[in-house]
Amino acid sequence: MIYTKNAIDAFERRYRANFINSLGGFKSLVLIGTKNSDGSENLATFSSLFHLGADPALCGFILRPATTFSSTLDNIIEQQYYTINHVSPAFVKQAHQCSAKYPKGVSEFEQVGLSPEYLENIPAPFVRESTLKFACKFVQQTAIELNGTTLVIGQITTVLVPETFVKEDGYIDIEEAGTVTSSGLDSYHTTNRIERLPYAKP
Amino acid sequence: MIYTKNAIDAFERRYRANFINSLGGFKSLVLIGTKNSDGSENLATFSSLFHLGADPALCGFILRPATTFSSTLDNIIEQQYYTINHVSPAFVKQAHQCSAKYPKGVSEFEQVGLSPEYLENIPAPFVRESTLKFACKFVQQTAIELNGTTLVIGQITTVLVPETFVKEDGYIDIEEAGTVTSSGLDSYHTTNRIERLPYAKP
């Protein structure tokens, strides 16, 4: 079946959101933890995290137009730090629930039943239940004027992961660690390795 | 285990690349097809595709600093179009091989044994073997000066997918379609759905 631009434009709004969100393939599913200067904590679901570079270690994610996630960006700018937490099957429902639009000042940790935990000198809460998590220092935000989204870039400063998942060559076996992937707006998946392949040469 | 910034900085280069590339979670694995005005075709592996918006339908991906993928960007700018093709288990080895640094002018289609196919008015090759694929019209490129990478944004214009995978609400079941996900630099995975969850409300 071929869906033309005209057909896609004519889709009902929610139908189009489901359809277009599916096209990007499987996505990284993470919870981003922040707090503000009053100590009020925020935890938000993101599926747009991507690798930007290993040296320096950088990653980026996309914030939707203002409103919804404003606590996340406000807190990041205020504290200059945020945490990124992988999601396991055991708390995928709670992770999904963090995508609800809670009023500012309400802690998603409390609302969904996840536990904040802190490391010294990192003013952002990690998710205790998360097996693989890391802290980012804010580096820059870039407005994507096209549709009002914002690209947030951070430098990875501290990584928490059980050593058993870190293989000889530095690869972290995130499947063994139980990391979940998502598709579309609301589908969650575990994975089965096909294989690891050697570095490709012509 | 806690890995500090100093520990990460001290990692051997390849070890660090494996480690940091694993942190982003499971990734979208796609082949991006382009051609130049001479008709010379290019096919490149990407794992940084992300959803940017549904209305208009936009997606973005990250190009590494110049050299390697320059054919992809050159062709996109020249023809204003590119295709994005999901990868199935049946050709995951060929998809991985497209990440090798072939000289300019060499067709990865021929080198790895995948078949280009065309739609009228879209001057970029699709991968015939791919079950779910779409064309993008180039919208903008944004230099990320921090590390020399480039964010390329495109508008989704035409989607090819068997109707059976498109569900009642517009969600495309990419697991049923056999879409593969990747982790780190070289690990490939199929998925098992945990569940789809209803829209989250506070």
CA distance A90 to A93: 8
- How close is the nearest chain B Cα to the Cα of A97, in Å? 5
Query: What distance in Å separates the CA atoms of residue B62 and residue B50, rounded to the nearest whole number?
Result: 9
Determine whether the interchain pair A23/B48 forms a contact, defined as Cβ–Cβ distance below 8 Å: no
**Across B70-81, average pLDDT:** 93
Instruction: Look at B191 and A190 and tell me if their CB atoms are within 8 Å.
Output: yes
Query: Is there a contact between A26 and B158 if contact means CB atoms under 8 Å apart?
Result: no
B149 band by pLDDT with thresholds 50, 70 and 90: very high
Asked whether the beta carbons of B150 and B62 are under 8 A apart, the reply is: yes
Look up tokens 């993470």; give the residue.
Answer: A30
Q: Where are the beta strands (DSSP E) in B20-94?
A: 27-28, 30-35, 41-46, 50-54, 57-63, 81-86
pLDDT digits (tens, 9 = 90+) for B83-123: 999 999 999 999 999 999 998 889 999 999 999 999 999 99
Inter-chain CB pairs, A–B, below 8 Å? 346
- In the numeric block, the tokens 């709004």 are attached to A13
Q: Which residues of chain A have pLDDT under 70?
A: 66-69
Residue from B18, B187, B188, B195 whose CB has the most chain A CBs within 10 Å, to mutate:
B187
Give pLDDT, residue B104.
85
Interface contact flag, A49 B198, Cβ < 8 Å: no
The overall average pLDDT reported for chain B is: 95
| Shortest Cα–Cα distance, B36 to chain A (Å) | 21
d(CA B186, CA A170): 12
> Which pLDDT value is given to residue A66?
66
Burial A37-74 (b: 16+ CB within 10 A, else e): eeeebbbbbbbbbbbbbbeebbbbbbbbeeeebebbbe
Name the residue facing B174 among A26, A102, A142 (closest C-beta): A26
- Paired with A63 in beta bridges are A150
Q: Do A49 and B103 make contact, defined as CB atoms within 8 angstroms?
A: no
Best of B50, B139, B188 to substitute, by most chain A Cβ atoms within 10 angstroms, is B50
Name the band, by pLDDT with cuts 50, 70 and 90, for residue B69. Answer: low
Which chain B positions have a beta carbon within 8 Å of A23's beta carbon?
Answer: 51, 57, 59, 84, 132, 134, 156, 159, 172
Average pLDDT (B146-151) is: 94
Instruction: Confirm if B87 and B31 have CB atoms less than 8 A apart.
Output: yes
Q: Which of B19, B45, B86, B137 to mutate to test the interface with A (most CBs of A within 10 A)?
A: B19
| Cα–Cα distance for residue pair A27/A47, rounded to 1 Å | 6
Contact B137, B128 (CB under 8 A): no
Q: What is the percent of chain B where pLDDT is above 90?
A: 94
Half-sphere exposure of A150 (CA within 13 A, CB side): 18
Chain B residues touching A55 at Cβ < 8 A:
13, 16-17, 20
Which letter does DSSP use for residue A166 in this model?
B
CA angle B47, A99, A112 (to 5 degrees): 120
Q: Which residues pair with A141 in a beta bridge?
A: A152
The shortest C-alpha distance from B11 to chain A (Å) reads 9
Is the pLDDT confidence value at B68 over 90?
A: no
CB A190, CB B192: distance < 8 Å: yes
Helix (H, G, I), strand (E, B) or coil at A44: strand
Asked whether the beta carbons of residue B23 and residue A198 sit closer than 8 angstroms, the reply is no
- Distance (Å) from the alpha carbon of B37 to chain A's nearest alpha carbon: 24
What are the phi and psi torsion angles at B46 (to 5°)? -135, 145
Give me the pLDDT at residue A189, please.
Answer: 98
Q: Which chain A residue lies closest to B5 (C-alpha atoms)? A: A157
DSSP strand pairing (A187-196 vs B187-196) = antiparallel
Q: Which residue has the tokens 């073997």?
A: B129
Residue contact A169–B15, C-beta within 8 A: yes
How many angstroms separate the CA atoms of B79 and A13, rounded? 30
Task: Write down all domains in chain A, each with its CATH number in brackets.
Answer: 25-185 (2.30.110.10)
Share of chain A above pLDDT 90, in %: 94
> 3-state class of A165 per DSSP?
helix
Coil/strand/helix, residue A3: strand
ipTM: 0.97
Q: Considering all CA atoms of chain A, what is the largest pairwise distance in Å, rounded to the nearest integer? A: 56
Instruction: Tell which residue, B88, B3, B137, B126, has the closest CA to residue A156.
Output: B3
Q: For B169-191, write each residue's pLDDT tens digit.
A: 999 999 999 999 999 999 999 99
**Cβ–Cβ below 8 Å for A18 and B169:** yes
Buried/exposed B171-191: b ≥16 CB within 10 Å, e otherwise: bbbbbebbbbbbbbbbbbbbb
Predicted pLDDT of residue A67: 57
Identify which of B153, B166, B190 has the shortest CB distance to residue A192: B190
Q: Which residue out of B139, B197, B199 would a mutagenesis test of the A interface target, given it has the greatest number of A Cβ atoms within 10 Å?
A: B197
